[in-house]
Structure 1
Amino acid sequence: MNTHSLLLKMSCLAIAICTAQSSFADQPWSQDRQWLLGDWNGQRQQLEKDGYKFTAAMMSQSATNLDGGYNDDNAFKNAAQLALGANFDLEKIAGWKNTTANILITKRDGNALTLDRIKDPRSSALGNSQEIYGRGKIWRLTQAWVKTGFADNTVQFKIGRMGMSDDFNGSQCEFQNLLLCGGQLGKSIGSIWYNLPVGLWGTNIKYQFAPEWTLGVGVYEINPDNTKTDKDSDGFNLDMDHVKGATIPVELAWRPKLAAFNGLAGEYKVGALYSTAEANDIATAGKIHDGKHSFWLNTQQQLTQKDGDPKRGLFASFNAVINDKATTAVQSTQQLAFWYRGAFDSRPNDSIGLGVANYLVNDRYKDRQIATNTSRGYDQYDALAADYVPVQRDELNVELNYTYQWSPAVMLRPNLQYIHQPAGVKEVDDAWVAGLSMRVNF
């Protein structure tokens, strides 16, 4: 099937959803449908009241290159993720006060336009126009944890299998572009920081020592087995036979209602981590460091409110990461995003988003690439030589999107992305990408 045929089918699906009539309010595509497969004759809501909440969701992200990139031949790529989960309120079920348990199984599939068309194939990837892509096309046990609260729930303890950004360096995701979606650490230090869908053994404790302040600390395994992606990989592997060390994050969170923004809520977090696993020096072959570290800042603030509705108005976020210069190829990342939710009274749950994000490559890493090319006899970019190493600098990502929340069960997000210096290689043409995200809650 060619690109235009696939795009036409996606467009037809979007138009069909958007133009459906309200007379079908009891149908799966109705605008008040909480779940696509319905409420199971009322049993689903009753189960939630009893402490059993089941989830099933499919996320699809498609992208096509409009102009630029390493290969400007038009292509259409789709990536997808299936997530099946259950949450158990153990206070309702077993009388365990302030205790919940969660399990989540995921399966990813599909392909990435960035890898196929946008970046030089000889370069390591930085950004991705489809954030859902990555970590292999295998089934994974992504979450299996228990969390309990003490001291009037001001202290919360969590243990089990989980992703790190579930509890640290977390951020809002209103975009399809990788660096504009969620926590940033996994995008630059993925060898020690694992986000969804990867699950790993870990534990953390958070202490709310004042109404607006919380301090958290965690300990997570560094186990390469968790990130294997070949067809023989076991996404349900629970052993710790090949653990190389631990990642220890610490984060301070402040959640005020600022007078400067008419008492609107925000969240401001600063954090740091230390990895105890040995790390290779990024510039000197054979040099080993005892560990590595990173620092981060996450901020999110509602700037305006529309018609007294706290869910509507203008929101902003700024996120930044600074990595260990001795051991990390990406020295820092920065992200600034704005989204306005409920701009139209007829569409109170829709939003318009604009985000800008940047990867900054470590100068030491860049100098090593230049030295490698010099040793091979290259003094300038060679588009054809297989052994030429493209020199990476920084990559800028921009996305403009509209989130169409047809119902609680169905979301569509058409978007336009601009990538400056794909994979940080200045010789590769800037790229324009059109994308479409779709999420369905079953």
Structure 2
Amino acid sequence: MKKVNLMKMSAVSLAILFSQGVMANEPWSQDRQWLFGDWNGKRQQLEDQGYKFTASIMSQAATNIDGGYNDNNTTTVASQLTLGANFDLNKIAGWNDTTAAIMITKRDGNALTNERIKDPRSTTLGNSQEIYGRGKIWRLTQAWVKKGFDDNKVQVKVGRMGMSDDFNSSQCEFQNLLLCGGQLGKSIGSIWYNWPVSVWAANVKYQFAPEWTIGVGVYEVNPDDIKTQSASDGFNLGMNNVQGATIPVELAWKPKLNGLPGEYKIGALYSTAEAKDIKTAGKVHDGKHSFWFNSQQQLTQRGDDSKRGLYVGFNAVFNDKATTFVQSTQQLAFWYKGPFDSRPADEIGLGFARYDVNNRARDKEIATDISRGYFSYDPIASNYVPIQRSELNVELNYTYQWSPAVMIRPNLQYIHQPAGVKEVDDAWVAGLSVRVNF
């Protein structure tokens, strides 16, 4: 079967719908919830009965304007198709406070960061297209059941899920990878699997006070879950290659400061899987650990609309220095919802994010180059290892929310020291994200 690029699929779909836009049901109206409509009322009827179906396509284009390892201008497009269903089992089967979900995803396309921005010999840190990665294959991204107890103060979730679905989760108002979503998967991806990967897992959340919740989970560490060689890898359900478990604990506080909502989380994890020492060859540790802090706070409110106003988010991750290449990450982001009265659902975003490479890993890179006779940066030698330090990502964007069904987000990104290599020119990238909910 021929491979079909998801961007081409979405373009054809949009063209067909545009040609029908003059017909009844107004597919392009700004209050349109789904591009394919309400199925003559059947969709809302099914949702009222407990069945909610979702389908969306996201595409992220990126063009290098200036700088980077290779400054020959090009445009790459990454894309993602998501198909899902949520089930309210109270409505369907009379099971109180019980829900379930299933979701599959398909990623495609290429990454500008890999092709133009970073030195190809260096370990990838950031990415100007956050939906790129984990293979161009179909994946089972969610398949879980969640049950509430004690008026939903206690919630137990079991099945296949990504780790940042419930721990170290964060806002995603940007196209740049480190500015979007949970941070741990970007720095310890060998044991912390984010979307679109799922693993066998279970977690418990306990709301012990109106503003306070504590959670703990157990997630398998199984390299088979992140394989990308064959189409079946995305649906691996076996546990023959499980190497241990990642155990996160997180405390969340959801206050209202000056009447405006916020969320503050501190967390830690321990992985029981053996971990190689980042500097000393042959040395193995019994496990590894990380700590994190996530926060999001609404700072202002515009008029009577509680959703409009200025928001800020700050996230930080601190990883085990003995076993991790990226020692820490920091993210500071601002976004303003509803900047114009005529566009109450639009947003303006500005974010800053940084990767810090472990100095023990850097010492190993330097020692390797000296052993090969290199004492300064060599731009072309295949066996030279670029010395990596820190990388800074900045993004400015505008989110044009045409309707709940169509989102368009042009953005401008600046990457300082791509992949942490100071000899590579700082890069400017123009991006465009488009999401369509069908």
Aligned length: 426
* Counterpart residue number, 2:285: 289
1:243-302 deviation per Cα after TM superposition (whole angstroms, max 9, x unaligned): 0000000000000001xxx21000000000000000000000000000000000000000
Does residue 49 of the first structure (1) align with residue 54 of the second (2)? no
Flag structure 1 segments of 5+ consecutive residues without an equivalent.
1-5
Letter in 2 for 1:301: Q
* Counterpart residue number, 1:342: 338
Query: How far apart are 1:61 and its partner, in Å?
Result: 0.3
* Contact 1:174 1:353 survives alignment (8 Å): yes
Letter in 1 for 2:358: N
Describe the shift of the 1:251–1:402 C-alpha distance in structure 2 as closer, same or farther (beyond 3 A): same
* Counterpart residue number, 1:124: 123
Partners in 1 of 2:246 and 2:23 — Cα distance?
51
Secondary structure (helix, strand or coil) at the match of 2:47 reads helix
* Counterpart residue number, 1:440: 436
Q: Percent identity among equivalent residues?
A: 77
Query: How far apart are 1:233 and its partner, in Å?
Result: 4.7
Secondary structure (helix, strand or coil) at the match of 2:384 reads coil
Query: How far apart are 1:28 and its partner, in Å?
Result: 1.6
Secondary structure (helix, strand or coil) at the match of 2:99 reads strand
Partners in 2 of 1:230 and 1:354 — Cα distance?
37
Secondary structure (helix, strand or coil) at the match of 1:430 reads strand
Query: How far apart are 1:25 and its partner, in Å?
Result: 8.3
Does residue 147 of the first structure (1) align with residue 150 of the second (2)? no
Secondary structure (helix, strand or coil) at the match of 2:425 reads coil
Flag structure 2 segments of 5+ consecutive residues without an equivalent.
1-6
Question: Which stretches of structure 1, 4 residues or longer, exceed 4 Å deviation after superposition?
Answer: 22-25
* Counterpart residue number, 1:68: 67
Does residue 419 of the first structure (1) align with residue 415 of the second (2)? yes
TM-score, length-normalised on structure 1?
A: 0.94
Please list, as runs of the form range in 1=range in 2, the aligned pairs for 1:9-24 lying within 5 A after superposition. Answer: none
Letter in 2 for 1:367: D
Letter in 2 for 1:376: R
TM-score, length-normalised on structure 2?
A: 0.95
Describe the shift of the 1:233–1:122 C-alpha distance in structure 2 as closer, same or farther (beyond 3 A): farther
Does residue 229 of the first structure (1) align with residue 228 of the second (2)? yes
* Counterpart residue number, 1:178: 177
Does residue 409 of the first structure (1) align with residue 405 of the second (2)? yes
* Counterpart residue number, 2:194: 195
Does residue 300 of the first structure (1) align with residue 299 of the second (2)? no
Partners in 2 of 1:233 and 1:394 — Cα distance?
37
Partners in 2 of 1:169 and 1:104 — Cα distance?
20
1:390-430 deviation per Cα after TM superposition (whole angstroms, max 9, x unaligned): 00000000000000000000000000000000000000000
Secondary structure (helix, strand or coil) at the match of 1:234 reads helix
Query: How far apart are 1:309 and its partner, in Å?
Result: 1.1
* Counterpart residue number, 1:3: none
Partners in 2 of 1:213 and 1:27 — Cα distance?
44
* Counterpart residue number, 1:265: 261
Secondary structure (helix, strand or coil) at the match of 2:361 reads helix
* Contact 2:143 2:161 survives alignment (8 Å): yes
1:304-361 deviation per Cα after TM superposition (whole angstroms, max 9, x unaligned): 0011211100000000000000000000000000000001000000000000000000
C-alpha RMSD over aligned residues: 1.8
Does residue 385 of the first structure (1) align with residue 370 of the second (2)? no
* Contact 1:24 1:30 survives alignment (8 Å): no
Does residue 430 of the first structure (1) align with residue 426 of the second (2)? yes
* Counterpart residue number, 1:78: 77
Describe the shift of the 1:24–1:405 C-alpha distance in structure 2 as closer, same or farther (beyond 3 A): farther
Does residue 254 of the first structure (1) align with residue 253 of the second (2)? yes
* Counterpart residue number, 2:3: none
Partners in 1 of 2:212 and 2:141 — Cα distance?
29
Query: How far apart are 1:27 and its partner, in Å?
Result: 2.1
Partners in 1 of 2:23 and 2:293 — Cα distance?
46
1:321 to 289, 313, 317: 317
* Counterpart residue number, 2:273: 277
Partners in 1 of 2:53 and 2:36 — Cα distance?
12
Letter in 1 for 2:230: K
Secondary structure (helix, strand or coil) at the match of 2:68 reads coil
Partners in 2 of 1:333 and 1:54 — Cα distance?
35
